[in-house]
Amino acid sequence: MGRTSSREWAQEIFGDAEFDDRRWKVRLVAMAARAACSPGGKVTSVYRNDAERQGAYGLLESAGAPAEAVATAMFAATGRACCQEEFVFCAVDGSSLTLTDHQRDKGFGPIGTRGQGARGLKMMNALAISAKGVPLGLTAQEWWIRRDVVPDGQGKKDRDKRKVSDKETQRWLDAMEHTQQVMARYAPRTRLWFQLDREGDAWPIFQHTGASGHWFTVRGNHDRRVLGKDGNRAYLRDAIALEPVVTEYDLTVTAGYKRTARTARMVVRACTLPFDFRDKRTDKHFTKEIGVVLAREEGTVPPGEAPIDWLLLTNRPLTNVDEIRQVILGYAQRWRVEDFHRAWKSGACRVEENQLQSPEAVKKWATILAAVAVRVERIKLLSRREPERPASDEFSPIELRAMVLLRFGKSGKTKLADGAVPTLGEATTWLAQLGGYTGKSSGGPPGSVVLARGLETLSVAVRTLEATEQICDEW
């Protein structure tokens, strides 16, 4: 999925948006191209002149350019990007936008507890990821405003008796269903492999997934009831603990809160078991065969710390060690959606800084910035996974010229002499350096924030070069 310029990128992502007035599509593509060059949460920080700002606000506030059409175009672009893949990981995860509403007149605002009358704008995102771990784009984005207040005296048991459609579990199901619809239309031969965190460990998820032929992996959150090999009911962790070790591997653990840096020794057990699920509202049971992979740290746990423990539930066949390892490696890709959320909300794009007044305007602006955040994450990870790829896959010739000029001055001519094209790894490092990256002293490879700053600096140079070339042509 090569990119040649921010404008062509924007045309590919949003060029199929269906509006009654074609002029909205032209404006949307122009807005996205500008946001890709200069990511930012406030409209005023992205569009620097009155004409651009007026056009941006016009689209965001217009009923003739609905947010659903903007999102549908983005999902279609992702589907087309997936069509050459044998399978793609699809990380599904929820988040929320903490937005300012001092006057409490927007109909939404900061996230709070249900007991406090939470009014936050929430969403469920589905991010398609290649087998190499590189983001391809969003395939679903479900929005809702949390308004429900728990009445006095209503506890967890009462909430469990609600219909699935009244729970946030339904948002997970909606995101997965909409993703399957996108893939059925644009990439029918590509298998989906859904990756869900512990919040996805709910019986409706298991009841509805798998029937389409796609795979899923859910991190277990409950020590569920299963039917043991003797036919008697047992708890899941007791049953999997009886299985023999199938493989072991070393995991590098970085230091964190209550976590010591170390090389953890992970011991893996796996089997397939019949699960006994129960709908607490109706007290009905159903049984389903599900694969279980337990990767647990043994022998290297520091005193006072909990072992690293991944209990993964999947319908991926587990017939050999390679397939079991694929389940573990596949679940690790779920962190890509968390990286996307950081880049989108508070990192490169800072969508939570927006001061728009209506949910519809926020959704449109957030959707545009979501596509930009995926692009930044894609450049970041692609430069790490495939650094030898030609930089022209992601940058246009004039962007590369401007990048080299800013980074090296006149001596940079040799970098592009005789039509030479730098590698993506080189170009990404140069871009990050324009954003303040200092190499090893920065603590690792370039991240999304320095890349976003580099893109903003680069955009000014590109516009200057374009204007200079136009003047020279006219003279």
**Residue 123: band (very low, low, confident or very high) from pLDDT cuts 50, 70, 90:** very high
Nearest to 430, CA basis, from 449, 407, 414: 407
Nearest to 196, CA basis, from 296, 306, 330: 330
Q: Give the pLDDT mean for 132-138.
A: 95
Which range (98-112, 193-207, 346-360, 406-420) has the least confidence?
98-112
Q: How far apart are CA 226 and CA 217, in angstroms?
A: 17
The per-residue pLDDT of the chain, averaged, comes to 88
CA distances from 76 to 14, 86, 157, 175, 354 (A): 9, 18, 41, 14, 26
Higher pLDDT, 152 or 386: 386
At how many degrees (to 10) do helices 359-385 and 67-82 cross? Answer: 20
For 190, the 3-state DSSP assignment is coil
28 pLDDT higher than 50: yes
In sign, the C-alpha dihedral spanning 276, 280, 285, 287 is negative
Res 467: pLDDT: 82
Q: Give the pLDDT mean for 423-435.
A: 94
What are the residues facing 276 on neighbouring strands? Answer: 287
Percentage above 90 pLDDT, the chain: 64
Q: Where are the alpha helices (DSSP H) in 6-88?
A: 6-14, 22-37, 43-46, 50-61, 67-82
**Residue 160: band (very low, low, confident or very high) from pLDDT cuts 50, 70, 90:** low
Q: How far apart are CA 400 and CA 303, in angstroms?
A: 52
268 pLDDT higher than 70: yes
Q: Where are the alpha helices (DSSP H) in 301-358?
A: 321-332, 335-345
Nearest to 368, CA basis, from 31, 50, 52, 86: 31
Higher pLDDT, 118 or 299: 299
Q: How far apart are CA 410 and CA 400, in angstroms?
A: 14
The token duo for 378 is 């894609």
Which range (66-70, 116-120, 359-363) has the least confidence?
116-120
1 pLDDT higher than 50: no
The token duo for 13 is 């992502």
Res 155: pLDDT: 55
Classify residue 402 by burial, with Cβ atoms within 10 Å: 0-12, 13-18, 19+: buried
> Which residue shows structure tokens 């320095």?
450
Res 106: pLDDT: 53
Of all helices (H) and strands (E), which one includes residue 457? helix 448-474
Percentage above 70 pLDDT, the chain: 89
> Which residue shows structure tokens 């005193």?
303
Q: Say which amino acid occupies 164.
A: V
The token duo for 6 is 């921010």
Which range (46-50, 299-303, 385-389, 465-469) has the least confidence?
465-469
150 pLDDT higher than 50: no
Under DSSP, the state recorded for 244 is: P
Which among 163-177, 272-286, 355-369 has the top mean pLDDT?
Answer: 355-369
- End-to-end CA separation in angstroms for the chain: 38
Res 149: pLDDT: 46
For 54, the 3-state DSSP assignment is helix
Which range (116-120, 122-126, 282-286) has the least confidence?
116-120
281 pLDDT higher than 70: yes
**174-223 pLDDT, tens per residue?**
999 999 999 999 999 999 999 999 999 998 899 887 677 899 999 999 99
- pTM, to two decimals: 0.89
Q: Give the pLDDT mean for 159-179.
A: 82
Res 441: pLDDT: 67
- Burial string for 352-366 (b: 16+ CB within 10 Å, else e) reads bebebeebbbbbbbb
Q: Give the pLDDT mean for 21-46.
A: 92
Res 114: pLDDT: 46
**84-119 pLDDT, tens per residue?**
999 999 999 999 988 765 555 555 555 554 444 456
**Residue 473: band (very low, low, confident or very high) from pLDDT cuts 50, 70, 90:** low
413 pLDDT higher than 90: no
Res 212: pLDDT: 76
